Amino acid sequence: MTSKDGTKGVAGSSDAVVPNHIAAAAQKGATVKQAAGQKPMWVDKFAWSSLWKAVVVVLLTLFFLSVAWKAQTLLRMLGVSLFFALAMIPAVQWIHNRWGWKRGAAVGAIYGGMVLFLVLMVLVLIPAISSFAGQIDTDSGSMADKINGYSQDLVGQDVIEQSTATDAGNTAGTGLTDWAENLAGVATTGIGFVFNMMTVLLFTFYFAADAPRIQNALMSRMPPHKQKVNGWIWDTAIEQTGGYFYSRMLLMVINGGLFFVAMMLVGMPLTYALPLSIFEGFVAEFIPAVGTYIGAAVPILLTLAIQGLVPALILLVWVLIYQQAENYWLSPKLSAQTMSLNGGVAFGAALAGGAIAGPMGAFMALPVAALITSMISNSGKTYDVVYHGEYGTHDDMPPAPPAEGAEASA
């Protein structure tokens, strides 16, 4: 049946004839209306995809954390090896450039020098420590009496109880003697320790000998602009670590050597002077801020107990004079500004490193802190300071400009 407007409808229907295009539009509108209250299909797909990605990331994170926890000893040894390798790289590079040796041979020569130094230390120091421990064990009571006599004259009371001094002397003497006797046999009694040391030495050898190859392999995975940034970080890490290690070692030799001469001049026996000088030099140079006082306190107290008040005061005056000379002249000359680190930052870094990783962490904390402060000081934008304020002017700062109109009113 055909309507007047030429459209075809359904024949035999009692209702009005509906054109086909109107019916199709109505059906489409009903479908859209029905779907209006439902979320699009892509929402479910996005949600499931994000959920699976989150699950995969969490599982991978847990997996790597578990692996890192189980391999924490290996990771710790790798960190120590990298630190010592960074400290050795300047010497290796100097030997390579100066004499044309291969880098592996240069590392081997450094290892040979370290072994020779340790052998000499064992041959010279171990007998001295054993004798030193025996004398402490025997003379601890008389040493305490002398120190208490001086304290009675100064403050009117004893500073060391006799029983405490005797027990401490016996314990210290026995402990030092046992340590000295067992040090030479550590290769047979401390298999785990020896294995860990060999592992650290092996990784240090590869890191130091293959440093250019490792650097090139890492840089080849980065775009040029990132190569410059990361290359600067690599060079700065070597400079800070090497500068810290070599300057501290040289200062330890100078400090300990001069302190040994001072102890011999005040009459201390060789068996006391040698181990105490090595102790003072190491502690004073490798423990920041308080190391000088800790390292000097023990030798001065023993000098007070053995030689008397005047030699002890001479050592105290020498320590104060040397420390000032080292802080203001010797240390800046030797470090050549490679370890320009604020004293408070150094002390805090040493405490944090010790809390995290013990004595080795405290030892490694200073070059790490110097590297971080160097990165911070050389990154980001900086501006000229135009306002100093009433409390912000220092002796090395120019005075703040007068306020507008101040000169006229004056």
Total domains in the chain come to 2
* Overall average pLDDT of the 254-281 stretch: 89
- Which of 152, 180, 209 corresponds to the end of one domain? 209
User: Is residue 44 in some structural domain?
Assistant: no
Range from 53-57, 133-137, 169-173, 388-392 carrying the lowest mean pLDDT: 169-173
Maximum C-alpha span of the chain: 135
What integer pLDDT is reported at residue 342 of this predicted model?
Answer: 67
User: Is residue 332 in some structural domain?
Assistant: yes
User: Is residue 300 in some structural domain?
Assistant: yes
Taking the CA atoms of residue 15, residue 19, residue 25 and residue 26 in that order, the dihedral angle to the nearest 10 degrees is 0
| Same domain flag for 257 and 364 | yes
What integer pLDDT is reported at residue 384 of this predicted model?
Answer: 81
| Same domain flag for 349 and 273 | yes
- Which of 179, 209, 239 corresponds to the end of one domain? 209
| Residue of 53, 94, 162, 81 whose CA lies nearest to 364 | 81
Q: Which domain holds residue 179?
A: 77-209
Alpha-carbon distance values, 227 to 274, 358, 392 (Å): 49, 34, 39
| Residue of 218, 212, 201 whose CA lies nearest to 78 | 201
Range from 120-134, 188-202, 211-225 carrying the lowest mean pLDDT: 120-134
| Same domain flag for 135 and 233 | no
Measured distance CA(362)–CA(368) in Å, rounded: 10
What integer pLDDT is reported at residue 111 of this predicted model?
Answer: 92
3-state secondary structure the chain: CECCCCCECCCCCCCCCCCHHHHHHHHHHHHHHHHCCCCCHHHHHHHHHHHHHHHHHHHHHHHHHHHHHHCHHHHHHHHHHHHHHHHHHHHHHHHHHHHCCCHHHHHHHHHHHHHHHHHHHHHHHHHHHHHHHHHHHHHHHHHHHHHHHHHHHHHCCCCCCHHHHHHHHHHHHHHHHHHHHHHCCHHHHCHHHHHHHHHHHHHHHHHHHCHHHHHHHHHCCCCHHHHHHHHHHHHHHHHHHHHHHHHHHHHHHHHHHHHHHHHHHCCCCHHHHHHHHHHHHHHHHHCCCCHHHHHHHHHHHHHHHHCCHHHHHHHHHHHHHHHHHHHHHHHHHHHCCCCCCCHHHHHHHHHHHHHHHHHHHHHHHHHHHHHHHHHHHCCCCCCCCCCCCCCCCCCCCCCCCCCCCHHHHC
Tokens of 162: 């006799």
pLDDT digits (tens, 9 = 90+) for 150-206: 665 665 565 555 544 444 444 544 545 554 555 445 444 456 667 888 889 999 999
- Which of 209, 243, 267 corresponds to the end of one domain? 209
Would you say residue 12 has pLDDT above 50?
no
Q: In the chain, pLDDT over 90 holds for what percent of residues?
A: 18
What integer pLDDT is reported at residue 11 of this predicted model?
Answer: 47
| Same domain flag for 244 and 159 | no
User: Is residue 124 in some structural domain?
Assistant: yes
Range from 50-54, 225-229, 393-397 carrying the lowest mean pLDDT: 393-397
Range from 75-89, 185-199, 231-245, 310-324 carrying the lowest mean pLDDT: 185-199
What integer pLDDT is reported at residue 146 of this predicted model?
Answer: 63
| Same domain flag for 319 and 247 | yes
Range from 78-87, 246-255, 335-344, 393-402 carrying the lowest mean pLDDT: 393-402
The better pLDDT of the pair 229, 133 is held by 229
b (16+ CB within 10 A) / e for 305-343: bbbeeebbebbeebbeebbeebeeebbeebbeebbebee
The better pLDDT of the pair 330, 86 is held by 86
| Same domain flag for 293 and 193 | no
- Residue 8 bridge partners (DSSP): 2
* Overall average pLDDT of the 376-401 stretch: 66
Q: In the chain, pLDDT over 70 holds for what percent of residues?
A: 63
Q: Are 282 and 233 in contact (CB under 8 A)?
A: no
User: Is residue 220 in some structural domain?
Assistant: no
What integer pLDDT is reported at residue 22 of this predicted model?
Answer: 57
| Same domain flag for 185 and 305 | no
* Overall average pLDDT of the 128-133 stretch: 68
pLDDT digits (tens, 9 = 90+) for 304-355: 877 888 898 999 999 999 988 888 888 777 765 556 666 677 778 878 887 8
| Same domain flag for 190 and 93 | yes
Would you say residue 263 has pLDDT above 90?
yes
